[in-house]
Amino acid sequence: MTPPNDRFVSETDFAVRYAETDAMGVVHHASYLVYFEEGRSHYMRHLGRDYSLIEKSGLRLPVTEIGVRFAGSLTYGERVRIHTWVADSRSRAIKFAYEVSSMQSEEILVTGFTQHMWTDLNGKVCRAPDELQDLLTQPPA
C-alpha cells in the first residue's frame, strides 16, 4: 500500500511504550489499532481539524471496518513512524490508510486501513460538510 502522490500524507513518530508489548517485548497486535488512531488524530490536527472540533461541530466518525496486514513487528523502545493518508473520501464515508515502520530500519512492518461513517451526535449517518470533504482530499502542500 503506497500513499498516492495527489494526497496529503501525515507523518508522526513516537517510542513504543512498555504497556503496548506482550511478554516477549513485542508490540501486541491490538496496539496497532491505537497506532492507527494516533496517526489519524495527528493527520487531523495537522490539517487544523482536531477531532474535538469536529465533534463540537456536531459530527462524529465512528469506525465501521478495519483491515491490518502484519509483515513484521516492533519491540519495546523502538521508534515508530506512522504515515497516514485518506485513501477514499465520499459524502458519507471516509477511509484512512496507514503504514507503520521502524524508524531504525525504515522497513514497513504493518499496513492497514480504517473505514468511517460520518454521523451526527445521535449516530444518524449524514453527509460530510463540503469544507471538510475538500480539506480531506486536498493535494499535498
Per-residue model confidence (pLDDT) at position 140: 58
The whole-model pTM stands at 0.92
pLDDT per residue rounded down to tens, the chain (141 residues): 667 677 789 999 999 999 999 999 999 999 999 999 999 999 999 988 888 888 889 999 999 999 999 999 999 999 999 999 999 999 999 999 999 999 999 999 999 999 999 999 999 999 999 888 888 877 655
Per-residue model confidence (pLDDT) at position 139: 64
Question: Is 118 in contact with 124 (CB distance < 8 Å)?
Answer: no
Q: What superfamily in CATH does domain 9-136 come from?
A: Hotdog Thioesterase (3.10.129.10)
Q: Which of the residues are catalytic?
A: 22
Question: Is 77 in contact with 16 (CB distance < 8 Å)?
Answer: yes
Give the C-alpha distances (Å, rounded to integers) separating 97 from 57, 76, 88, 131: 24, 24, 9, 21
Per-residue model confidence (pLDDT) at position 53: 87
Q: Rounded to whole angstroms, how far apart are CA atoms 35 and 1? A: 17
